Chain A
Amino acid sequence: MGMDREKNLHRLQSAYGCLDEGFEIGKEAYGGQQYSHIYFARLHLMRTLLYSLVSHWKPLSPVCTVLGLEENKECVIVGTLYKHMKLKPRILDEYAKERSVVPLVKPHNFVHSDDYLVLEDESGRVKLGGNFISPSQYVTGLVVALHGMSTVAGEFLVLDVLEAGLPPQIDRPLKPREDKYVVLVSGLSIGSSNSNPLQLQLLIDHITGHLGDVTEQSIASQIVHVVVAGNSVEIPTGLLNGQNLASKDLSRIAEPIKELDIMLNQIVAGLPLDIMPGPNDPSNFALPQQPLHRCLFPGSSAYNTFRSCTNPHCFELDNIRFLGTSGQNIDDLQKYSEAKDKLEFMERTLRWRHLAPTTPNTLGCYPFTDRDPFFIESCPQVYFIGNQDKYETRIIKGSEGQLVRLICVPKFNETGVAVMLNLRDLECHPLSFGTQLSS
């Protein structure tokens, strides 16, 4: 390594702030509560917000509750949506004497043309009618304001819909900056049958600057942060059959984690890394997923650059706010609603100001009693989701000048693609690795 002084590259650094407090379950003790609390907290929070917007939106219409609706009188109501879905799997179907004969058209999507929406608040619920509001876009658990009138049939004829809109964004300082990169990667799936250790090693070597010539190394030295967004390992669950495990099986189960630790160790020796749990990782199932335990990573956790985080994960790098999940929230929306691509689902969650409206209905979630952690208070500059089929990205703009970079991070194991994001201008590009020799 005969490097002279000019070629001695120094890795850039950035100021990091973790904003995961809201996602930590901490000392909360489960006291037998059900999910009514989280819906109450959500409705209260969102309704206060929507009421403040209604006066600009429909200044002439009175605001009333579902119980206070009067026939043929235009008004505004605020409540939680419930989508009645014909194809939604129900646990009771298993016990039904007559099995449901409705076949699933697409097993990955439960949307049907007969679906309809119901709006409810503390006082009651009302079925929504009219062609203005299309049920396929919306999901259960979302809080909206509706303008319309009650019909003779007892339905509420919707004339207009108000969503909470993009949250306010904290302006970032516009001083000219140098190029600084953040690498987002997800779905390493170490331990799965098709995992490719060489591919991952190439990524690590690229990040740590062990690959390529000086130009490439100088780019590598501008990488200031790495985020691993879920599904880092694939535990061989076939071994878990309810019996006591033989000692050789015990070590086989731990094998993927050990390998992950060795891999991450190489990165954290050089630069900060955040690891988020995903649906396949050894963390809790229900969102918010709690950080993977440090003792799983005896090597990496010795470094203070290694940070095990929650999923969803929110942090700041040089005052740029990141918000990301390992993908469960968007994957669940895809099952219960329709959009043209994943980015549109992401955009909707921001406009709804709710990271995961389908919790707790179809997505597991801790029964919080005093808050709804998925409410988005402040608009991130970068919003990413992990474990997607392909890399997609887009910038969306809000009415108040908000600017958000949306990123779908693909599964690295299947695509060999990680994502590089430039903190200077929020431009991003895929980082693709292949180990196949083209013939």
Chain B
Amino acid sequence: MPMKKYYRQRKKAANNRSSKSKKKSKISRVPCQAEYDPEEEILRKFDMDMAYGPCVGVTRLERWERAQKMGLNPPQEIERILKSDKDIKVQQQCLWNKKIGDNYKIIEYYMAA
């Protein structure tokens, strides 16, 4: 019930401002930390760096290789992370991949209806 908690917290905040803001930030940070590790953080930053071109529709490695081929000197670290064969699966698709795909599905759904 994250929604309720959030709501309650806001109410409290109306009474005491300083304590409210602290608590709020704590709560919102927790689920984010659980979602991805520092390596994913680096990869996401790479996704968002416009200097290497659009990221949707190509894998992260393809995007890195394209940047390399074009002489844009993408960070070596990205390649290392993407090619590392760790037990933990490294996300090969970019940050937006799933989300944009889902949007298409929604559009298709409405078009069909």
How distant is the Cα of A48 from the Cα of B62 in the complex, in angstroms? 21
Cβ-defined contact, A369 with B69, below 8 A: no
* A-contact 0/1 string along B57-76, CB 8 Å cutoff: 11100100110011110000
Cβ-defined contact, B57 with A37, below 8 A: yes
Closest to B53 in A: A40
Residues of A within 8 A of B53 (CB): 36-37, 40-41, 44
Cβ-defined contact, B66 with A34, below 8 A: no
Cβ-defined contact, B54 with A36, below 8 A: yes
Is A107 in contact with chain B by the CB < 8 A criterion? Answer: no
Is B56 in contact with chain A by the CB < 8 A criterion? Answer: yes
How distant is the Cα of A367 from the Cα of B100 in the complex, in angstroms? 17
Is A32 in contact with chain B by the CB < 8 A criterion? Answer: yes
Cβ-defined contact, B50 with A31, below 8 A: no
Residues of A within 8 A of B56 (CB): 32-34, 36
> Which B residues from 55 to 112 make CB contacts under 8 A with A?
56-59, 62, 65-66, 69-72, 100-101, 104
Cβ-defined contact, A37 with B69, below 8 A: no
Cβ-defined contact, A370 with B57, below 8 A: no
How distant is the Cα of A202 from the Cα of B51 in the complex, in angstroms? 58
On chain B, the number of residues with a Cβ less than 8 Å from chain A's Cβ atoms is: 18
Is A122 in contact with chain B by the CB < 8 A criterion? Answer: yes
Cβ-defined contact, B57 with A31, below 8 A: yes
Cβ-defined contact, A122 with B57, below 8 A: no
Known interface pairs A33-B58, A369-B57, A370-B62. Does A122 touch B70 (Cβ–Cβ under 8 Å)?
A: no
Interface-centre pick from B54, B58, B70 (highest chain A CB count, 10 A): B54
Cβ-defined contact, B54 with A31, below 8 A: no
Known interface pairs A32-B57, A33-B57, A34-B57. Does A370 touch B101 (Cβ–Cβ under 8 Å)?
A: no
Residues of B within 8 A of A32 (CB): 56-57, 100-101, 104
What is the CB-to-nearest-CB distance from A377 to chain B, in angstroms, rounded to a whole number? 15
Cβ-defined contact, A122 with B62, below 8 A: no
> Which A residues from 1 to 42 make CB contacts under 8 A with B?
31-34, 36-37, 40-41
How distant is the Cα of A48 from the Cα of B101 in the complex, in angstroms? 33
Cβ-defined contact, B66 with A369, below 8 A: yes
Interface-centre pick from A32, A41, A45 (highest chain B CB count, 10 A): A32
Cβ-defined contact, B69 with A370, below 8 A: yes
Residues of A within 8 A of B100 (CB): 32
What is the CB-to-nearest-CB distance from A366 to chain B, in angstroms, rounded to a whole number? 13
How distant is the Cα of A32 from the Cα of B62 in the complex, in angstroms? 14
Cβ-defined contact, B101 with A122, below 8 A: no
How distant is the Cα of A200 from the Cα of B101 in the complex, in angstroms? 51
Residues of A within 8 A of B71 (CB): 48
* A-contact 0/1 string along B32-62, CB 8 Å cutoff: 0000000000000000001101101111001
Residues of A within 8 A of B65 (CB): 370
What is the CB-to-nearest-CB distance from A149 to chain B, in angstroms, rounded to a whole number? 26
Please pick, from B50, B51, B66, B72, the residue contacting A370 in the complex, using a CB distance under 8 A. Answer: B66
Closest to A367 in B: B57
How distant is the Cα of A122 from the Cα of B51 in the complex, in angstroms? 8
What is the CB-to-nearest-CB distance from A44 to chain B, in angstroms, rounded to a whole number? 5
Cβ-defined contact, A369 with B70, below 8 A: no
Interface-centre pick from A34, A36, A369 (highest chain B CB count, 10 A): A369
Cβ-defined contact, B54 with A40, below 8 A: yes
Cβ-defined contact, A31 with B58, below 8 A: yes
> Which A residues from 58 to 74 make CB contacts under 8 A with B?
none
How distant is the Cα of A44 from the Cα of B68 in the complex, in angstroms? 13
Closest to A30 in B: B57
Closest to B97 in A: A32
How distant is the Cα of A31 from the Cα of B62 in the complex, in angstroms? 12
Closest to A43 in B: B53
Residues of A within 8 A of B72 (CB): 44
Residues of B within 8 A of A369 (CB): 57-58, 62, 66
Residues of A within 8 A of B70 (CB): 41, 44-45
How distant is the Cα of A400 from the Cα of B50 in the complex, in angstroms? 36
Residues of A within 8 A of B58 (CB): 31, 33, 37, 369
What is the CB-to-nearest-CB distance from B92 to chain A, in angstroms, rounded to a whole number? 11
Interface-centre pick from B50, B56, B71, B101 (highest chain A CB count, 10 A): B56
What is the CB-to-nearest-CB distance from B53 to chain A, in angstroms, rounded to a whole number? 4
* B-contact 0/1 string along A193-226, CB 8 Å cutoff: 0000000000000000000000000000000000
Residues of B within 8 A of A44 (CB): 53, 70, 72
Cβ-defined contact, A37 with B101, below 8 A: no
Residues of A within 8 A of B104 (CB): 32
Cβ-defined contact, B50 with A122, below 8 A: yes
How distant is the Cα of A34 from the Cα of B100 in the complex, in angstroms? 11
- 6 residue pairs, one from A and one from B, having the closest CB atoms: A33-B57, A36-B54, A40-B53, A370-B66, A369-B58, A32-B57
Q: List 7 A-B contacts (CB under 8 A).
A: A31-B58, A32-B101, A32-B104, A37-B58, A40-B53, A41-B66, A370-B62
**18 further A-B pairs in the complex, CB-CB below 8 A; given A33-B57, A34-B57:** A31-B57, A31-B58, A32-B56, A32-B57, A32-B100, A32-B101, A33-B56, A33-B58, A34-B56, A36-B54, A37-B58, A41-B53, A41-B66, A41-B70, A45-B70, A122-B50, A367-B57, A370-B65
